[in-house]
Amino acid sequence: MEYKTLSNGVEIPQLGFGVFQIPPEETKDVVKKAIEVGYRHFDTAQAYFNEAEIGEAIKESRIAREELFLTTKVWVSSYGYEETKKAFQDSLDKLQTDYVDLYLLHQCIGDVYSTWRAVEDLYKEGKIKAIGVCNFTQGRFTDLALHAEIPPMVNQIEVNPFYQQEGTEDFHKEFDAVVEAWGPLAEGKDDIFNNPLLSEIGAKYDKSVAQVILRWLIQRDIVVFPKSTKESRMIENADLFDFELSDDDMEKIKELETGVPIVEVDNPEFIKFVISSIA
């Protein structure tokens, strides 16, 4: 395993396991299997509605809490100072823990600043080991970082071969922040697992397309957490640390950029949709 060190000295595993869109009734068994395979970094959220199942899986695994890195997020419906504190406690209860390793604002929409003050206070109380945000554009991230008592240590954003956000890791390094990639495998769109260029690169290293993509992100100093419900894929996705892509292959992957994200987070229609869904 490789690690990134956050601005406060906390070490975060560069490979984790995502649970977005795993149905709650399947989550416990999937997470238990991921733990058996060797994953110790799990990323969930209030809005995924499966925190409780993750808590059950961890409890039944009997893995020591300090061996795990747990991330969860507060959704826009719970933004605001007091609302965030209540949502955080609810997440703790569901996860059956007395702290989380990383707590994130899920969107840059709504009452971000009151929410961030609550997160800062929870961090100072020792209930959170590290704090950050999701889906913040560079402008929104800069604004929050410059107005915060404690700037975000992480920004979880969409990064994949079709939406590469080239240079984003350098931008965030200016704020001593680490980038995490959601949707690292582009959610399988555009037949990415059969992409000719990625398949050709994978053949050179005897690795799959998924392994090439995840390794490409890791070499960009980005934290990744692929999702799979299949044990064979869990094992495959974790087998990333015995090879390194050449500089030439890293450059070739840039050819796949389309500039089209899965979700355009700063699109007015998306923002209206999010706000209307919580009204």
Residues with active-site annotation:
48
Residue showing tokens 């094992």: 235
Using CA atoms, how far apart are residues 89 and 103, in angstroms rounded to an integer? Answer: 12
If we measure between CA atoms, which residue out of 131, 135, 151 comes closest to residue 143?
A: 151
E strands, 61-171, are 69-74, 102-105, 131-134, 154-158
**Distance linking the first and last C-alpha atoms of the chain:** 43
Give start and end residues of each alpha helix (H) in the chain: 24-37, 51-61, 81-95, 112-124, 138-147, 168-173, 196-205, 209-218, 231-238, 247-253, 268-278
103, exposed or middle or buried, with CB in 10 Å at 0-12, 13-18, 19+?
A: buried
Using CA atoms, how far apart are residues 30 and 139, in angstroms rounded to an integer? Answer: 37
Pairing of strands 3-5, 11-13: antiparallel
Q: Which two tokens stand for residue 96?
A: 């059956």
Q: Give the phi and the psi of residue 71 in degrees, each rounded to 5.
A: -115, 135
Using CA atoms, how far apart are residues 108 and 121, in angstroms rounded to an integer? Answer: 19
Q: Give the phi and the psi of residue 236 in degrees, each rounded to 5.
A: -60, -45
Residue showing tokens 């977005």: 20
